[in-house]
Each structure stands twice: as C-alpha cells, then as structure tokens.
Amino acid sequence: MKKKCILILILLSFTGITVFAGDIPESLMSGNQKALFIGKLTDKDSETYTITPVTVMMGSISQKEIKVNKFEKYYGTSDVPQNGDILVAVLLEKGKIKEQWVFKTTSDDYKTLKLKSVKHNMVKRYEKYINEGKYFEAQNKINEEAKKKNQTTKGNVPLESKKEKLVQNSKSTIVNSIQKNTSDEYKVLLGLLVVVSIFYNKISKK
C-alpha cells in the first residue's frame, strides 16, 4: 500500500511539472519577465554570450547589447549557439535570460519566423503566438491597464483637499477684490470672508 501511495505521489509531481512547463507560452503574456525579444548572437567566449536585441515583443530593453551567461544549446535541438544566430529569448533581469527557453529561429521577422525545435504542442503554440503578434497585443493591454490605473489614482483627490482648495480660491478672490475697492465695499467683503471661513470649519468637522 505504501509503495502504491509513493508511486502515485511521484506521478502527480511529474504531472504538475509538465503542466507548469506547458503553460510557458501563455504565462509570458502576463508580463512578469523584463522582456521577451528576438535577438542576434553577435559574440561569444568561454563564459558569456553577447546578444543584440532586434525586436522587443514585450517589456523593454534599454541596452544595445546584452551580455548573458553561456548556455549549451537551444531549446528542442542539439544545436550549439554560434555567432550570427537569430534567437528568441526571455530576459528575466539585467544580464540574465531564461536559459532553458531560448529558441533558434529562421529569421528576425516575427510574422514569418519559424522556431527550430522539435514541434510538440507547446512549441507550436509559442510560434503561433509570435507570428500573430499576440505578445505585442498582451503588452499593449498591460500598458492600457497601467494607464487607466494611473488616471484613476490621479482622479481620487481627497475630499478635504477639494474643500481646502475651494476655500483658498474664495479667499484669494475676496482679497484681490478688497485691494481694488473702497472702504465700504471692504467691510462687506471682509464679512463674506468671515462667513466662508465659518462654513469651511463646519464642513471640515463632518
């Protein structure tokens, strides 16, 4: 019985890992990575590779060149990276890419490129999303949501601030008028100023 339970747990563990890995093409659309890009391998040495970003599909890359740790081969192939290779990679942070998810491609045109890999379902979906511009669309959606959130935050001015601004404007108007009018008008305007101040104190206590 114990052996059966252990076997079931092992199978469930592997199943969970497979499902998680199989969701990579979709999970990238959430934008948790720094960038998803098409690039060109321009230089390599024993420890690092230099990649020049060509097209950034999601996120942003400010550097003209990215230096990353050497990776042994591309996903789904036994091809060893060479200078001049065009690739699709996920930048996790400055100087670090997702090494197990780097694809060699046929070109740098996202609309027509083909991923050089064993074409199982996950790779087919990834290639399809890239060709159809789905990652650009995902980034645009993220940008729009961030813009709306920012506008909402700016629009939520505290009530006290609005009241205070109203009173200050009223006071400024009265003071400006006082400076331009006669002594009789001064008394009237001064009285209005007192009324406004009392009104503000009352609504501030509510």
Answer left, alpha or beta for residue 133, where phi above 0 means left and psi between -120 and 50 means alpha: left
- 61 and 88: one domain? yes
The mean per-residue pLDDT over the stretch 117-133 comes to 96
Reported confidence tier of residue 52, pLDDT bands at 50, 70, 90: very high
- 100 and 187: one domain? no
The answer to whether 127 touches 104, Cβ cutoff 8 Å, is: no
Domain count, the chain: 2
pLDDT of residue 159: 55
- 135 and 41: one domain? yes
Reported confidence tier of residue 152, pLDDT bands at 50, 70, 90: confident
The answer to whether 49 touches 70, Cβ cutoff 8 Å, is: yes
User: Tell me, what CATH number does 90's domain have?
Assistant: 2.40.50
Reported confidence tier of residue 12, pLDDT bands at 50, 70, 90: very low
Reported confidence tier of residue 27, pLDDT bands at 50, 70, 90: very high
pLDDT of residue 151: 85
Specify if 49 maps to a domain: yes
- 115 and 65: one domain? yes
- 76 and 115: one domain? yes
Domain range enclosing 93: 23-142
pLDDT of residue 182: 47
Q: How far is CA 206 from the centre of its chain?
A: 41
End-to-end alpha carbon distance in the chain? 70
Rounded Cα distance between 91 and 99, Å, is 9
Rounded Cα distance between 103 and 101, Å, is 6
- 72 and 116: one domain? yes
* pLDDT averaged over every residue in the chain: 81
pLDDT in tens, 61-84: 999 999 999 999 999 999 999 999
CA dihedral 108, 34, 59, 145 (to 10 degrees): 150
Domain final position from 112, 142, 172: 142
pLDDT of residue 79: 94
Rounded Cα distance between 49 and 148, Å, is 39
Secondary element (H or E) of residue 62: none
Domain final position from 142, 169, 184: 142
pLDDT above 90 covers what percent of the chain?
A: 60
pLDDT of residue 4: 47
Of the candidates 192, 154, 153, 157, the one whose C-alpha atom is nearest the C-alpha of residue 176 is: 192
- 102 and 179: one domain? no
pLDDT in tens, 75-115: 999 999 999 999 999 999 999 999 999 999 999 999 999 99
- 45 and 97: one domain? yes
